[in-house]
Structure 1
Amino acid sequence: MAERDISFFLAGNAKPVEEEEVIVSKRYVDKDGKVIPFIMKPMKTEDIEELEKSCMKPVMKNGKKVGERLDTSRFYARMAIESTVFPDFKSEEMRKSYKTEDPVEVAKRVLSIGGEYSAWIEAALRINGFDDSFDELVDEAKN
């Protein structure tokens, strides 16, 4: 067997993460009538893990906490928020415009047609490498 060169996997050898333009909605157009793409990028693994921890909900039985479960729809929406470079749903301007402090609520109001919101979640999952069983993830996120 030929010797394998592990040097390709050493620090600093990975290709840089690139931003990607994604059409999420055809309703937002520039002054020339061209659809404005969202700009998205993948999150770091550590950030996804932290996000997952923050989206855990207690599982209660007879008034006692017996475990935790992931709030998947919130997790997917927050992943999409963190993966979206433009528009910045966390910006003060956007939050004031839509009268909410929650960036997820801003996104829901901007992408008020169900298919737009689903396309945005789908793009975030795909960009972050979670597209293998995407249809199942979308169905779960909708529930």
Structure 2
Amino acid sequence: MSTLQEFLNANPVDNLTEEVFISERFKDEDGNTFLFKIKAMTNKEFNDIRKRATKIKGRKAEFDAEAFNKSIVIEHTIVPDFKNVESLKSLGCSTPDQYLERVLLSGEVVELASQIQKLSGFDTEMETLVEEAKN
């Protein structure tokens, strides 16, 4: 029987990826599904994104859930590449945020962000993360 230490050593979390299906919209006419390849966030990446999505206004901290979700999706989706310069140009976008807005519905962005968070070990709801970020 192996120990927890041996298990951890044999299963590092860097480069942890998964293919996920996020919406019925991503099926072709033959019924084939298009999967998104995502990667897990490190603690540092999660905290950096959370900080960027939190704005201090006076004595209040405001958490921008939309900016948080977009950043997670843009930074942790491998396929498709939302930062691909040719794709951005083809749709007349100058930023990955603009491209994301053109190719995904808002519910799809939330679902993809949720899948990335689950892969990263977060089994909590977005509301819980928002409350943690405010505190």
Instruction: Tell me the TM-score normalized by structure 1.
Output: 0.69
Give the aligned length.
Answer: 126
Q: Deviations over 1:23-79 (max 9, x none)?
A: 12333446965111000110111122222222221313xxxxx35433222112211
The answer to which structure, 1 or 2, has the higher relative contact order (CA under 8 A, 6+ apart) is 2
3-state DSSP class of the match of 2:9? coil
- Counterpart CA distance in 1 for 2:10 and 2:74 is 25
User: Match for residue 94 of structure 2?
Assistant: 101
When Rg is computed on C-alpha atoms for both structures, the one with the higher figure is 1
User: Match for residue 57 of structure 1?
Assistant: 55
3-state DSSP class of the match of 2:123? coil
- Counterpart CA distance in 1 for 2:84 and 2:46 is 21
- Counterpart CA distance in 1 for 2:11 and 2:79 is 22
User: Match for residue 63 of structure 1?
Assistant: none
The question of whether the paired residues in 1 share the 8 Å contact of 2:63 and 2:130 is answered with: no
3-state DSSP class of the match of 1:13? helix
**As a proportion of its length, which structure holds more helix?**
2
Q: What stretches of structure 1 of length at least 5 have no aligned partner?
A: 61-65
User: Match for residue 17 of structure 2?
Assistant: 19
Percentage of matched positions with identical amino acids: 32
RMSD: 3.1
Aligned amino acid, residue 127 of structure 1 = L
- Counterpart CA distance in 2 for 1:117 and 1:139 is 17
3-state DSSP class of the match of 1:78? helix
User: Is 2:81 the counterpart of 1:88?
Assistant: yes
